[in-house]
Amino acid sequence: MGVTGNYERLTSIAMFYKIFILLFAAAFGFSAYGRDKAAFVLYDNAGKKASYHKLLKKAKKSDVVLFGELHDNPIAHWLQLELTRDLHKTNRLILGAEMFEADNQKALDDYLSGRIDSAGLDSLARLWPNYKTDYAPLVDFARDHRVRFIASNIPKRFARLVHKNGGFAALDSLGNEEKSWIAPLPVHFDPELPGYRNMLTMMGGHGTPGMVKAQAIKDATMAHFILLNHKPGHVFLHFNGAYHSDDYEGIVFYLRHKNDSLRYMTITTVEQENIRHLEKQHRGRADFIICVDSDMTKTY
């Protein structure tokens, strides 16, 4: 082979490796200009980067997983569905959500069993405005795979009673059926929990004890229905706003108050301008923190 042939052969080899490196870089999220933009980064409780595999492994060994979302965040909703699918492959699963009030359980059950269609569910249950985009995939998964789905939240009108009247005494006059849709009375309440105290200042001075107690009755009710419907050998995966389980308070406080022997795991969602490092204020909020770019498109 002459000089020209060797040159062409070396050129071909060089081109092959150049293409290989570019394909490798594309596959693993790198380019000549550095790491590509990421939509989110997953962190552990200490603020160290974690893998989804690690999160899933811990979830599989938990009795109750509380998935705290930002209601309009598409990354949280996508990961909720992914976690549901992956847990269902290996574990017996029960789902539940803040987004369904306890008095709508029958309508939800009727949909899951096929007795009514999506239009019927929409007419019988008080669905959130973003139900079709964010929660219907979870409910439809439960329907298609015969997984129980628990409506865990207190009816909003009862929470308003607590807020308006400044205390739980407003619930004493409810009938027996109505009381079956809330946490058993009397409700234990600790006003010194940091999350509840912070609510008074977060509202710009407009926070009231009634508002805090309305939050507490929601937390207590969700915890009540989680424990009421949890079964040994199952993972109960619950979806709720992040504030209801952040810092191991809210729902977690009431779960542990009633049953401290179960294995609880929490996930939360936060947004940052720079997601390469978890900001100090977000560390320790949950077992796993989904840190999403604050420019992420909202679902509504």
Q: In what order do the strands lie in the sheet with 92-101?
A: 40-44, 288-293, 264-272, 64-69, 234-241, 92-101, 148-153
Q: Evaluate whether 219 touches 199 at the Cβ level (below 8 Å).
A: no
Q: How many other CB atoms are found less than 10 A from the CB of residue 131?
A: 18
Nearest alpha-carbon partner for 59 in 235, 296, 275: 235
Domain-located, residue 227? yes
User: Is residue 300, in this structure, part of any structural domain at all?
Assistant: no
Q: Are residues 185 and 165 in the same domain?
A: yes
Residues 136 and 189 placed together within one structural domain of the fold: yes
Cα–Cα separations (whole angstroms), residue 136 to 58, 118, 267: 26, 9, 21
| 221: CB partners within 8 A, 6+ apart | 102, 152, 153, 154, 181, 182, 183
The verdict on 105 and 179 lying in the same domain is yes
Torsion of CA 200, 203, 206, 210, to 10 degrees: -50
**Same domain flag for 141 and 122:** yes
Tokens representing 299 are: 């679902």
- Quick one: 144 and 44 in the same domain? yes
> 11 Cβ partners below 8 Å, 6+ apart?
none
Residue 153 is encoded by which pair of tokens? 């939240």
pTM, to two decimals: 0.87
User: In the prediction, which pLDDT does 210 show?
Assistant: 94
Residues 16 and 87 in one domain: no
Peptide bond into 209 cis (omega under 30): no
Q: Which is nearest to 287 in space by CA: 269, 270, 267, 264? A: 267
* CATH number for the domain that contains residue 205: 3.40.50.11550
Q: Is residue 234 domain-shared with residue 115, that is, in the same domain?
A: yes
Is 78 within a domain?
Answer: yes
Amino acid at 169: A
Report the 10 Å Cβ neighbour count for 263: 11
Is residue 70 located within the same domain as residue 2? no
Measure Cα distances from 255 to 153, 198, 248, 250, 263 in Å.
Answer: 14, 21, 10, 9, 10
Shared domain check, 73 and 28: no
CA distance 143 to 4: 67
- The answer to the question of residue 249 being in a domain is yes
SS3 46: coil
* DSSP code per residue over 197-224: HHHHHHTTT---HHHHHHHHHHHHHHHH
Question: 221 in a domain, yes or no?
Answer: yes
Q: Which string of DSSP letters, residue by residue, matches 54-121? A: HHHHHHHT-SEEEEEE-TT-HHHHHHHHHHHHHHHHHSEEEEEEEEEEGGGHHHHHHHHHTSS-HHHH
Range of 24's domain?
A: 1-36
Residues 79, 182 share a domain = yes
- φ/ψ of 61, rounded to 5, equals -95, 5
pLDDT by residue for the chain (300 residues), tens digit each?
554 444 344 444 344 434 333 333 344 433 333 457 899 999 999 999 999 999 999 999 999 999 999 999 999 999 999 999 999 999 999 999 999 999 999 999 999 999 999 999 999 999 999 999 999 999 999 999 999 999 999 999 999 999 999 899 999 999 999 999 999 999 999 999 999 999 988 766 677 999 999 999 999 999 999 999 999 999 999 999 999 999 999 999 999 999 999 999 999 999 999 999 999 999 999 999 999 999 999 999
Domains in the chain, number: 2
Assess if residue 72 is contained within a domain.
yes
Task: Give pLDDT, residue 200.
Answer: 85
Same domain, 78 and 2: no
Pair 21, 153 in one domain: no
CA 288 – CA 265 distance, rounded (Å): 9
Pairing assessment for the beta strands 148-153 and 234-241 based on DSSP bridges: unpaired
